A = this chain, B = another copy of it.
Amino acid sequence: MPPSEQPLRDIGENRMVSRFRQLAGAALTDGVLLGPGDDTAILRLPPGRVALLTCDMMVEEVHFRRAWITPWQLGWKAMAQNLSDIAAMGGEAGFAVASVALPGTAEKSMAEGISEGLIAAASRYGAALVGGDLVGSPGPVAVDVSVLGWVEEGVALRRRGARPGDRLLVTGALGASAAGLHALLQGRQGEDDPHLRQALAAHHEPQPRLKEGRAIALGGAATAMMDLSDGLAADLPRLCAESGVGAKLFLAQVPVAEACRAVAARLGLDPLSLAVSGGEDYELLFTCPPEAVARLRTVVAEAGGLLATEIGEIVSGPAIIALDSEGRSVPLAQGFDHFASRSG
């Protein structure tokens, strides 16, 4: 059989580690004094910065299905969602390590594809994959990534900090990733449609908003920020809880991605629900005083050509009230819970 189809159990750990070093070693950055292959990487962080550290794991049958996502996309997405956490602080991404669990029956090409996707996403955003752990699994594939970044001290934006009267903004448009997921759930991924392809790409190859997050943080006026990983309906309450505030969410102002509208129509789903409750958009949710809205929208547009949209207002008290176009309060559907019985 061709080498790429050889199962890992016949190749052995040492040879796979060598291959990983070769792949990752070709994409190292200046700060990497020692890359993959030793007990740890050795890294130089830029002076005068504080470090940012985060991790996120993707597990088969919980976060993805193997039949739906290519190994390359799995690697990309696992890296991208961590980079998105760095973006949400206003930081720069520097270095990443990744642990990959694969059954011994998995093919060499799968391990390579995941590695290449991890490296591609890191490189795209200026970071380097500097180490990893490739381990066996009794079944499910799992990819866990940790990213080390940095930011000027005092510049990072936390979830805490939003104040009553602040406006609530979001970068880009929402719902495309959820539309892609629902297309997969309905078995519609093979259909030939450009919006469907966009939605699937949004779901499998998210683009973390590092330039935008950094511009918002350096802009000086934003009071709180986070990335939308579990959906506005799950994540907005987290930002509010941290800040000790409530919010009004103007549903008619939520920017629904065009791919979301088109695919939702094909699938018979409500596009707004996908945009509000869907999750995995990896756009940035942030707050600022009313007088800073225009400037921050400009700053975001100049950073990456993306719109930032005002979608609500911070209020005192814990309640989060979603209002429809006629000002009527409507219930906010729940977002993704990792331990809920349904799996996506």
Q: Which residues of A contact B (CB under 8 A)?
A: 8-9, 11-14, 16, 33-34, 37-45, 50-63, 85-86, 88-89, 91, 95, 97-99, 101-102, 104, 130-140, 142, 144, 146-149, 151, 156, 158-160, 225-227, 238, 242, 337-341, 343
List 5 other contacts, CB 8 Å, given A43-B50, A53-B95, A62-B137.
Answer: A9-B341, A37-B242, A40-B89, A45-B51, A62-B135
Tell whether, in the assembled complex, residue A45 and residue B42 are in contact, meaning their CB atoms are under 8 Å apart: no
Whole-angstrom distance from the CB of A135 to the nearest CB of chain B? 5
Q: How far is the CA of A137 from the CA of B57 in the complex (A)?
A: 10
Tell whether, in the assembled complex, residue A9 and residue B43 are in contact, meaning their CB atoms are under 8 Å apart: no
| Chain B residues whose C-beta falls within 8 Å of the C-beta of A130 in the assembled complex | 53
Closest to A156 in B: B42
| Chain B residues whose C-beta falls within 8 Å of the C-beta of A45 in the assembled complex | 45, 51
Whole-angstrom distance from the CB of A259 to the nearest CB of chain B? 26
Q: What are the 10 tightest A-B residue pairs by CB atom distance, in nearest-first order?
A: A146-B146, A57-B99, A39-B88, A40-B54, A61-B138, A144-B144, A55-B97, A40-B52, A62-B136, A39-B85
Q: How many copies of the shown chain assemble into the complex?
A: 2
Closest to A160 in B: B38
Tell whether, in the assembled complex, residue A135 and residue B55 are in contact, meaning their CB atoms are under 8 Å apart: no
Whole-angstrom distance from the CB of A33 to the nearest CB of chain B? 6
Asked whether A91 and B54 contact (CB < 8 A) given A45-B45, A62-B138, the answer is: no
Tell whether, in the assembled complex, residue B57 and residue A101 are in contact, meaning their CB atoms are under 8 Å apart: yes
| Chain B residues whose C-beta falls within 8 Å of the C-beta of A149 in the assembled complex | 40
Whole-angstrom distance from the CB of A318 to the nearest CB of chain B? 14
